[in-house]
């Protein structure tokens, strides 16, 4: 019973913090959208995610190659 109350209190606190941060971000997003810079931010984030994805795929490919090399020996 006590754990449920603690969980409920923590959940409410986290939810309130998320709501407050979203309200603060909305003014920043509105500013970026009004100046047209939101598209630049989205483009940079997209490029970063694509770069991370390519990097992880290349590491996976190299590890698979090494694993196959070790199995064959």
Q: Where are the domains of the chain?
A: 18-72
**Hunting for tokens 């994805």 — which residue is that?**
53
For residues 18 and 28, which has the higher predicted lDDT (pLDDT)? 18
Residues near 32 by beta carbon (within 8 Å), at least 6 away in sequence: 38, 41
Per-residue pLDDT at 8 exceeds 80: no
- What does the pLDDT average to over 28-53? 81
How far the first Cα of the chain sits from its last, in Å, is 58
Per-residue pLDDT at 7 exceeds 60: yes
pLDDT category of residue 66 using cuts at 50, 70 and 90: very high
For residues 41 and 26, which has the higher predicted lDDT (pLDDT)? 41
Per-residue pLDDT at 48 exceeds 70: yes
Contact 50, 42 (CB under 8 A): no
Q: For residue 41, give both structure tokens.
A: 């931010």
């Amino acid at each position: 019973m006590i754990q449920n109350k603690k969980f409920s209190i923590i959940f409410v606190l986290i939810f309130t913090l998320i709501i407050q941060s979203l309200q603060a971000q909305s003014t920043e997003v509105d500013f970026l959208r009004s100046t047209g810079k939101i598209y630049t931010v989205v483009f940079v984030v997209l490029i970063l995610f694509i770069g991370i994805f390519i990097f992880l795929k290349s590491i996976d490919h190299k590890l698979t190659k090494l694993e196959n090399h070790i199995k064959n020996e």
